[in-house]
């Protein structure tokens, strides 16, 4: 096998370009030191090719492998999950650069490049990401072409053109297979950590929501059948927290609900607790396109119902998917904003759940809540009194101070600075301390309206926490203490309120959201988003599109007709290949001089003097002179004219003379026999 320094230069060039492209595609979710290591390894390989440096020894390579493994473990804290495993594969890919001794090593690296490029699709399926993946395949294919056919004198653009032609030839067949072949589910799920994919987790403590002001990633998009509701009505309910341990709010265990099954599926009979929901007026109809969260919970406006068989309504009136959302999910929803939830009564066991507080926490708040309750027995007035406290002295900020053991006491009577989770948590604690059932709800609030399309963009920084209190005769009511402190957060949007602060989008420094005040850039951002949303809808709704298309093409979806369509479509897809082969054959056909020479040979063959396979013109002429001396002069003259026409720089005159001499050359079998 050839060592690396004998591999063509343009092959090495495209191989290294492939490495840099692979690093660029995964730069966002790789530890910075991994990407930097890849660049260093590529530069080392360049120096090896130039014979400036030596191959690293076995001890060094094993040391680097151990250091990379330890670095990944320290960075992620685990080696399970999508990102750690991709990073582990990437480190092996990079280290392979340091041990390319043979051509097969370079081939392994190129095959790994294909795999790593395709792995980008696990992190993003946007139209931009899909185009980037296709473009990234080009240098890898060019390197593969150069590996099998290039020389040191060939140019890199030659392999690039051939690689591009191969990809273009493959695209029609790829499209045919995409249209015709049925889509099946993944053979395995790809787990991802919640913190990496969604702003709403299954618990909440002070400071959790604050971090989301730095993240501008899209959480979901919503397309309405009618007008989009007002901003202050857009509360996207995700999780309900009824359990509090003194610092962290969590969901109540489903088995603690005693009045039927916790989940009600659309294709099953209604649960007994469904009668507790009073829905009034016309529902809002909309479709949510949710980004991957690796969680079961979905987001919707109040009192939602979904016709999807994979979506259920939970006992605490939110939507749940039947499996974790590991990729984009499109689900239809109807919501009744005018509603009542459990207005008639709350069972004793539910009172116990929604009033529970841990012992030994926040004694000052407990005492003041009881005092206020004695002074203000009316529940609505009591709630308004607490909201008035928030309105007078508190500050809504992305930079709240840290809190100690008694989080509610320190916040309400000390710092008085916090984000939405500070207000929701303290409000619910205060209500419970006063004997009023209450709970925390988390999700998203508001969203950005697309000016030319009827859909809403909800981002991670729109994550929000609010409260629900239960009042006899009225049921569960939403109370948002944040609205008492910063009403503009609810009436306008998070971005409008915090756009000028340094913490806003600090985790997304390259986001076009930073430039939304520049009209043309903001319009470009929205145009790109609408294009990406259209792509997502097409991909997610492709099953129905595929079914309709096949019905139009086939009349009925039967295996025989699909097979015929595959054969026909495959032939159409391969038509460019056949055309290129035909054109290539035409280029290789003989020129006029060769055709004339074959006529000359045919005339001699007709009189019993065939040309032997592999016999050159001059050898053929000498043999003719021996077997038919009477033809010697004519044959020698024709041979000289042919060689002159074939090898002279100016072929025109010699070709004419050869053509004229051939026209006069009419050998006969009699001359051959006489000569013999």
Q: In whole angstroms, what is the distance from residue 331 CA to residue 289 CA?
A: 7
Length, in residues, of the chain: 676
CB atoms within 10 A of CB 200: 24
Q: Which residues contact residue 145 at a Cβ distance below 8 angstroms, ignoring those fewer than 6 apart? A: 159, 162, 163, 166
Cα 427 to the chain's mean position, in Å? Answer: 40
Closest by alpha carbon to 297, among 220, 233, 351?
220
Q: In whole angstroms, what is the distance from residue 163 CA to residue 143 CA?
A: 8
Query: Is residue 617 within 8 Å of 643, Cβ to Cβ?
Result: yes
Q: In whole angstroms, what is the distance from residue 667 CA to residue 633 CA?
A: 12
Q: In whole angstroms, what is the distance from residue 132 CA to residue 127 CA?
A: 9
The reply to whether 480 belongs to the active site is: yes
Give me the DSSP letters along 511-573.
Answer: -GGGGTTSHHHHHHHHHHHHHHHHHHHHHHTHHHHHHHHHHHHHSS--HHHHHHHHHHHHHHH
Query: Is residue 223 within 8 Å of 287, Cβ to Cβ?
Result: yes
CB atoms within 10 A of CB 90: 24
The reply to whether 591 belongs to the active site is: no
Q: Which residue among 10, 26, 316, 420 is the active-site one?
A: 420
Query: 386: which 2 tokens?
Result: 């607490």
Residue 211's alpha-carbon distances to 198, 223, 427, in angstroms, are: 12, 27, 21
Query: 107: which 2 tokens?
Result: 């081939």
Q: In whole angstroms, what is the distance from residue 200 CA to residue 41 CA?
A: 39
Q: Which residue among 464, 529, 532, 654 is the active-site one?
A: 464
SS3 assignment, position 361: coil
Residue 657's alpha-carbon distances to 250, 325, 652, 668, 670, in angstroms, are: 99, 81, 9, 22, 26
Helices 156-180 and 559-587 cross at an angle (nearest 10°) of 160
Cα 506 to the chain's mean position, in Å? Answer: 22
Query: 308: which 2 tokens?
Result: 């999807």
Give the CA angle between residues 420, 422, 427 to the nearest 5°: 100
Q: Which residue among 208, 276, 462, 480 is the active-site one?
A: 480
Q: In whole angstroms, what is the distance from residue 422 CA to residue 481 CA?
A: 10
Q: Which contacts (CB < 8 Å, 24+ apart) does range 14-18 have?
A: 14/139, 14/140, 14/142, 14/143, 14/146, 14/156, 14/159, 14/160, 15/106, 15/109, 15/110, 15/143, 16/42, 16/45, 16/46, 17/139, 17/142, 17/143, 18/109, 18/110, 18/113, 18/139, 18/140, 18/143
SS3 assignment, position 463: strand
The reply to whether 420 belongs to the active site is: yes
Would you name the residues annotated as active-site residues? 420, 464, 480
């Amino acid at each position: 096998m050839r060592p690396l320094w004998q591999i063509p230069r343009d092959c090495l060039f495209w191989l290294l370009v492939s490495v840099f492209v692979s690093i660029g595609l995964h730069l966002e979710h790789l530890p910075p030191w991994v990407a930097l290591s890849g660049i260093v390894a590529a530069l080392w390989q360049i120096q090896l090719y130039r014979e400036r440096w030596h191959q690293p020894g076995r001890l060094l390579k094993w040391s680097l492998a151990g250091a990379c493994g330890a670095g990944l473990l320290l960075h992620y804290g685990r080696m399970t999950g999508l990102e750690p495993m991709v990073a582990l594969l990437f480190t092996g890919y990079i280290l392979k650069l340091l041990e390319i001794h043979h051509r097969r090593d370079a081939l392994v690296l190129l095959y790994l490049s294909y795999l790593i490029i395709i792995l980008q699709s696990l992190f993003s399926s946007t139209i931009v990401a899909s185009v980037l993946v296709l473009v990234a395949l080009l240098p890898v294919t060019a390197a593969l072409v150069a590996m099998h056919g290039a020389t040191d004198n060939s140019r890199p653009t030659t392999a690039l053109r051939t690689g591009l032609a191969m990809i273009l030839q493959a695209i029609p067949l790829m499209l045919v297979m995409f249209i015709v072949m049925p889509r099946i589910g993944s053979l395995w799920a790809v787990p991802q950590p919640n913190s990496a994919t969604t702003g709403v987790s299954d618990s909440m403590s002070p400071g959790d929501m604050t971090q989301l002001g730095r993240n501008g990633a899209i959480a979901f998009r919503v397309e309405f059948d009618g007008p989009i509701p007002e901003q202050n009505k857009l509360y996207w309910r995700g999780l309900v927290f009824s359990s509090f341990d003194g610092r962290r709010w969590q969901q109540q265990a489903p088995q603690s609900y005693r009045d039927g099954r916790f989940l009600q599926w659309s294709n099953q009979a209604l649960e007994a607790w469904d009668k507790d929901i009073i829905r009034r007026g016309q529902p809002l109809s909309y479709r949510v396109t949710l980004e991957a969260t690796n969680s079961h919970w979905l987001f919707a406006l109040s009192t939602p119902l979904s016709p999807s068989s994979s979506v259920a309504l939970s006992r605490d009136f939110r939507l749940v998917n039947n499996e974790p959302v590991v990729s984009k999910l499109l689900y239809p929803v109807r919501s009744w904003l005018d509603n009542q939830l459990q207005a008639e009564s709350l069972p004793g066991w539910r009172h116990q759940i929604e009033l529970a507080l841990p012992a030994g926490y926040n004694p000052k708040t407990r005492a003041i809540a009881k005092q206020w309750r004695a002074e203000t027995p009316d529940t609505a007035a009591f709630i308004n009194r607490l909201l008035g406290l928030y309105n007078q002295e508190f500050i809504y900020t992305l930079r709240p101070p840290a809190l100690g053991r008694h989080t509610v006491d320190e916040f309400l009577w000390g710092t008085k600075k916090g984000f939405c989770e500070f207000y929701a948590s303290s409000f619910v604690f205060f209500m419970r301390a006063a004997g009023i059932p209450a709970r925390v709800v988390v999700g998203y609030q508001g969203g950005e309206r697309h000016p030319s399309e009827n859909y809403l963009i909800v981002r991670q920084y729109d994550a929000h926490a609010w409260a629900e209190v239960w009042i006899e005769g009225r049921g569960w009511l939403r109370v948002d203490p944040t609205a008492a402190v910063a009403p503009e957060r609810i009436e306008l949007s998070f971005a409008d309120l915090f756009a000028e602060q340094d913490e806003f989008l600090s985790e997304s420094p390259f986001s076009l959201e930073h430039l939304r005040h520049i009209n043309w850039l903001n319009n470009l951002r929205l145009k790109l988003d609408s294009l990406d949303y259209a792509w997502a809808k097409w991909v997610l709704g492709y099953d129905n599109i595929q079914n309709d298309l096949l019905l139009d093409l086939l009349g009925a979806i039967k295996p025989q007709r699909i097979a015929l369509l595959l054969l026909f479509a495959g032939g159409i897809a391969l038509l460019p290949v056949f055309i290129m082969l035909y054109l290539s054959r035409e280029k290789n056909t003989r020129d006029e001089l060769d055709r004339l020479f074959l006529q000359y040979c045919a005339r001699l063959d007709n009189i019993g003097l065939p040309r032997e396979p592999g016999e050159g013109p001059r050898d053929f002429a000498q043999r003719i002179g021996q077997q038919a001396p009477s033809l010697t002069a004519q044959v020698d003259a024709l041979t000289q004219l042919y060689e002159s026409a074939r090898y002279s720089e100016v072929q025109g005159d010699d070709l004419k003379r050869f053509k004229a001499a051939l026209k006069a050359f009419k050998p006969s079998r009699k001359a051959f026999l006489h000569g013999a």
